[in-house]
């Protein structure tokens, strides 16, 4: 039996669990989400987990999960509860603000199950909103439950993820305090390291399943391809000709500054129509990465946006992890995920620092 037996709340496609479970002392046994497509992806990639699709606020659902969790000796909870109410207006209600009820639901499971450790992941704005008032409310509530807490903002690029993705992380322990993990890499993993072996599709090309076309050219690609016999989800968006023509005007690794004013439209953001830069990390991958006009998510030199597989690589999902559902659902699954290598760094830190004998 694994030392850490996990309940993953708001699990999505499973990036958080997939990364944690890379450490052999961790195993996700129960996962909950209200998105059936994300749940299918989770289940097919981690078939040993009991994936439950449902509403975390439903009393019957909660009772079922608590009963299963106790039977399976769950001693760890992870998840990223949505938290929309942290504005100045919301201060009067704090964690009682109805928009923050999902945060409360998460902490209710903590209160019910008393795990040895739990990890909360969220947007970094949570720490700064209302001059830190909400952060302090959360820390106070965790303390009242009898847990120590260490929190801060982690940048995924410090843990071998080829992406500048910043997330607020709270590591909460019923035993000794667990500090946030130190950087695990001395130098960044670049976009080139991540996806140069996938650089051959033009707009509309690619298949759901295909053979690898180019050899491995970086340690990161070797890591991503280990144990994978086929390449999945590497299919380029079928862009309109007008979009392709615009991209043809933008030199490698450049952006909208090369488009004539009459083609810019009403877009106010500097990053629209941007190309990724080979020797830097990617900006944060979002749920619209397959649209050329969305942001800096076009291929460094090919005339298309990045594919789901390229986005998954930039999120640090290895090629064994296959996404299921329509294009819209897969986009959402990848864009909303916790990067697995960031999750693994957190798991390793807990494993190295938590003494469950106390």
3-state SS record for 256-268: HHHCCHHHCCCCC
- Asked, for residue 35, whether it belongs to a domain, the answer is yes
φ and ψ of 119, to 5 deg: -125, 125
Measured CA to CA, the distance from residue 159 to residue 311 in angstroms comes to 17
List active site positions. Answer: 83
Residue 85 has pLDDT above 60, yes or no: no
| pLDDT-derived band at 232, boundaries 50, 70, 90 | very high
Q: Give the model's pLDDT for residue 103.
A: 84
Residues 121 and 13 in one domain: yes
* DSSP, residue by residue, 2-54: -SEEEEEES-TTSHHHHHHTTSTTEEEEEEEES-HHHHHHHHHH-TTSEEEES
Residue 187 has pLDDT above 90, yes or no: yes
- Asked, for residue 269, whether it belongs to a domain, the answer is yes
- Asked, for residue 215, whether it belongs to a domain, the answer is yes
Residue 264 has pLDDT above 70, yes or no: no
Residues 153 and 259 in one domain: no
DSSP 158: G
> Which residues fall within 8 angstroms of residue 193, CB to CB, at 6 or more apart?
162, 218, 219, 220, 221
Q: Give the model's pLDDT for residue 223.
A: 98
Residues 290 and 345 in one domain: no
Measured CA to CA, the distance from residue 122 to residue 82 in angstroms comes to 7
Place of tokens 């050329």: 292
Measured CA to CA, the distance from residue 30 to residue 56 in angstroms comes to 13
Q: What is the CATH number of the domain that holds 326?
A: 3.90.120.10
Measured CA to CA, the distance from residue 263 to residue 271 in angstroms comes to 15
Residues 293 and 342 in one domain: no
How many angstroms from the chain centroid is the CA of residue 106?
18
- Residues 113/77, Cβ–Cβ less than 8 Å: yes
- Asked, for residue 358, whether it belongs to a domain, the answer is no
Residues 285 and 344 in one domain: no
| pLDDT-derived band at 259, boundaries 50, 70, 90 | confident
Choose among 248, 307, 238, 301: nearest CA to 275. Answer: 301
The continuous run of DSSP H or E covering 207 comes out as strand 206-210
Residues 263 and 347 in one domain: no
HEC-encoded secondary structure of 118-153: EEEEEECHHHHHHHHHHHHHHHHHHHHCCCEEEEEE
Residues 324 and 346 in one domain: no
CA distance readout (Å), 211 to 1, 45, 214, 217:
37, 20, 9, 16
Q: Give the model's pLDDT for residue 73.
A: 97
Question: pLDDT exceeding 90 applies to what percent of the chain?
Answer: 80
Residue 64 has pLDDT above 70, yes or no: yes
Burial class of residue 212, CB neighbours in 10 A (0-12, 13-18, 19+): middle
Q: What is the CATH number of the domain that holds 136?
A: 3.40.50.150
- Asked, for residue 319, whether it belongs to a domain, the answer is yes
Total number of domains constituting the chain: 2
Report the 10 Å Cβ neighbour count for 344. Answer: 22
| pLDDT-derived band at 22, boundaries 50, 70, 90 | very high
- Asked, for residue 258, whether it belongs to a domain, the answer is yes
Which residue range(s) make up the domain with 204?
A: 191-335
pTM: 0.94
- Asked, for residue 204, whether it belongs to a domain, the answer is yes
218: which 2 tokens? 């970086």
- Asked, for residue 208, whether it belongs to a domain, the answer is yes
Measured CA to CA, the distance from residue 35 to residue 329 in angstroms comes to 9
Residues 168 and 206 in one domain: no
Measured CA to CA, the distance from residue 164 to residue 331 in angstroms comes to 18
- Residues 207/230, Cβ–Cβ less than 8 Å: no
- In tens, the pLDDT along 25-38 reads 999 999 999 999 99
Residues 169 and 32 in one domain: yes
Lowest-confidence pick of 100-114, 220-234, 298-312: 100-114
């Amino acid at each position: 039996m694994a030392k850490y037996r996990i309940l993953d709340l708001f699990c999505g496609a499973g990036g958080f669990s997939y990364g944690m479970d890379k450490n052999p002392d961790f195993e996700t046994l129960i996962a909950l989400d209200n998105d059936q497509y994300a749940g299918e992806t989770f289940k097919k990639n981690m078939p040993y987990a009991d994936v439950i699709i449902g509403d975390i606020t439903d009393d019957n659902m909660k009772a079922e999960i608590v009963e299963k969790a106790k039977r399976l000796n769950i001693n760890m909870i992870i998840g990223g509860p949505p938290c929309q109410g942290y504005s100045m207006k919301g201060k009067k209600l704090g964690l009682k603000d109805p928009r923050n009820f999902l945060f409360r639901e998460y902490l209710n499971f903590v209160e019910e199950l008393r795990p040895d450790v739990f990890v909360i992941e969220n947007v970094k704005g949570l720490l700064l909103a209302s001059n830190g008032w909400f952060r302090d409310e959360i820390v106070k509530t965790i303390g009242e439950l009898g847990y120590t807490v260490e929190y801060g903002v982690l940048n995924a690029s410090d843990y071998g993820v080829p992406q500048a993705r910043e997330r607020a992380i709270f590591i909460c322990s019923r035993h000794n305090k667990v500090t946030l993990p130190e950087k695990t890499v001395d130098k960044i993993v670049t976009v080139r390291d991540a996806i140069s072996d996938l650089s051959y599709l033009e707009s509309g090309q690619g298949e759901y399943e295909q053979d690898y076309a180019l050899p491995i050219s970086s340690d990161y690609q070797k890591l991503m391809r280990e144990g994978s016999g086929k390449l999945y989800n590497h299919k380029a968006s079928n862009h309109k000709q007008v979009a392709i023509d615009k991209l043809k005007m933008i030199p490698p690794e450049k952006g909208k500054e090369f488009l004539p004013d009459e083609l810019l439209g009403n877009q106010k953001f500097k990053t629209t129509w941007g190309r990724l830069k080979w020797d830097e990390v990617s900006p944060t991958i979002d749920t619209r990465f397959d649209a050329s006009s969305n942001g800096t998510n076009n291929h460094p030199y090919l005339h298309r946006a990045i594919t789901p597989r390229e986005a998954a690589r930039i999120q640090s999902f290895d090629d064994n992890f296959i996404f299921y559902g329509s294009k819209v659902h897969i986009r959402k699954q990848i864009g909303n995920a916790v990067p697995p290598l960031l999750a693994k760094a957190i798991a390793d830190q807990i494993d190295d620092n938590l003494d469950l004998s106390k």
